[in-house]
Amino acid sequence: MNLRGQSWALPRLSAVFLIVMLFANVVCLDCVAASQRQPEAAWSKSFNGVTAKFKIGTPIIRIDEPLKVTAVYRNEGRQSVTFRILPLILDVHVYQNGRKVPFESPFFSVEQPYSEITLAPGETTRVEDDLYVGARFQLVPGKDATIWFCYFLPLLPDKAMEKLYERKYRVVNHAVAWENHGHTFKVIK
């Protein structure tokens, strides 16, 4: 058995294997870093290229006080978008004790009052609102509640786009939750 030509084969194979493994680790670390640079995309769904993030400024409120909310809408697309949104109080689902709390509307209309926002590519806009959830939802004081911010699909520019999102996301009463999580708050007396 002649080992003369094979003496360098094992060290060369080990060196190539080591280089490939180091390269794979660098690529993997770069992918992790890239995913950490854009956490908004992981938390928000996109409608017509627009994503949204929500923050509650007052997580504990009295029944007659507003829930202060900040919404940040961002155009993730490559072209300008004119985007329709409802007032936040009309575009939420509230849950308490694991059950959806009914919304008490001061008016009933097929046509909802919406605003139009035009966003350039990469542009964001911030909307701050006071939501009087105690006046619109029958909440039990002293218990935690969860609010989900939604997008009302009939506001999209055409029915085909609406149908696309109905197939893509879970829909409740023509609305889809923007984020993969709700926001907890508490109502006190």
Q: What is the pLDDT of residues 26-53, one digit of tens each?
A: 333 333 333 333 444 447 899 999 999 9
What pTM was computed for the model? 0.73
Residue 90 in contact with residue 104, Cβ under 8 Å?
no
Residue 41 in contact with residue 49, Cβ under 8 Å?
no
What pLDDT, on the 0 to 100 scale, is given for residue 77?
93
Q: How many alpha carbons fall within 13 Å on the CB side of residue 167? A: 5
**Cα–Cα distance for residue pair 85/87, rounded to 1 Å:** 7
pLDDT exceeds cutoff 70 at 13: no
Residue 86 in contact with residue 152, Cβ under 8 Å?
yes
What pLDDT, on the 0 to 100 scale, is given for residue 53?
96
Residue 81 in contact with residue 75, Cβ under 8 Å?
yes
